[in-house]
Structure 1
Amino acid sequence: MSGSQRRRDEELRCVDVVAAIAGGMVESGAARRALFTDAAIAASLPAEQLAIGPYPLSFLAGCVRSLGLDGVLQLPELLVGEEPTLLVRAWMSAARSGRSPDVVGDEVFARWLEMVAVLLDSRRTATSVPVRASASADGPFSSSRTATTGAVGERRDVPDSADQFTGRGE
């Protein structure tokens, strides 16, 4: 990660996500754009630190659509663990403050949660290190590997190359 990316993350850590949610939920225009840009990126940072994955946030977005924000807020544990639950509950409480329950507002917040999930997935993909399937130069058909076949405990060697499967290696 370059220094400019770290600096940008540090700048985004200063964004008041809860205030941006509260403002973006009741106002359109610049406040709504800030909700779906800087605030969503800023929200992904503590979520990433707490190891909240994209799938749980996407699942919660579906729950918001099904139960409504008020219904989801009544659930005892939104995510696994106290800290992730407190973080997401703060976001949901901010989304609920200053407005009456309505389907449109619930949809806006569900879309925001999905945006944070996409950002988490993107950050995870961008920072992951590719892992080789095999340490052998021959790839997955290395002769140093074995595979289990039909009977319990019966083992056979895996072919040295794909040519043995096609008959071209003989």
Structure 2
Amino acid sequence: MTVAGALAADRLGTRPRSLTFLAEVVRRGGTGYAVTLPEPLPTPEQTALAATWLEAVNSNPAQGPEYDEAVARWLENVALVVAARRKARAGTPD
């Protein structure tokens, strides 16, 4: 799931720090709050992707602080994979 999320986010040009910020929103406000954000990520395409993720996780009946923390960690891991992909591409000759 993490790699698939990172590939989708990277294809849309999502910056890792945007995902990390969204993770903090989830951690502090919960998935219920995050799903109500009109623009959880900078561009409309990125927002649509994040909305899909947030709606999916918000539909889980087993929500609570531990669940929100797990979602936040997942978003942070997606950000790490995106950052690693970008670093690898930067080091690769054209």
Q: Distance in 2 between matches of 1:75 and 1:89?
A: 9
Give 2:46's aligned residue: 84
Which of residues 73, 88, 93 is equivalent to 2:55?
Answer: 93
Q: Distance in 2 between matches of 1:111 and 1:129?
A: 27
Q: Does 1:67 align with 2:35?
A: no
Which of residues 41, 45, 51 is equivalent to 2:3?
Answer: 41
How far residue 100 of structure 1 moved from its aligned partner, in angstroms, is: 4.3
The alignment's TM-score, normalised by the length of structure 2, stands at 0.91
Tell me how many residue pairs correspond in the alignment.
92
Identity of aligned residues (%): 37
Which of residues 72, 75, 79 is equivalent to 1:117?
Answer: 79
How far residue 101 of structure 1 moved from its aligned partner, in angstroms, is: 3.2
How far residue 86 of structure 1 moved from its aligned partner, in angstroms, is: 0.7
SS at match of 1:123: helix
Larger radius of gyration: 1
How far residue 109 of structure 1 moved from its aligned partner, in angstroms, is: 0.3
Q: Distance in 2 between matches of 1:120 and 1:101?
A: 27
The alignment's TM-score, normalised by the length of structure 1, stands at 0.52
Q: Distance in 2 between matches of 1:75 and 1:100?
A: 21
Higher helix share: 2
The two structures, once aligned, show a CA RMSD in angstroms of 1.3
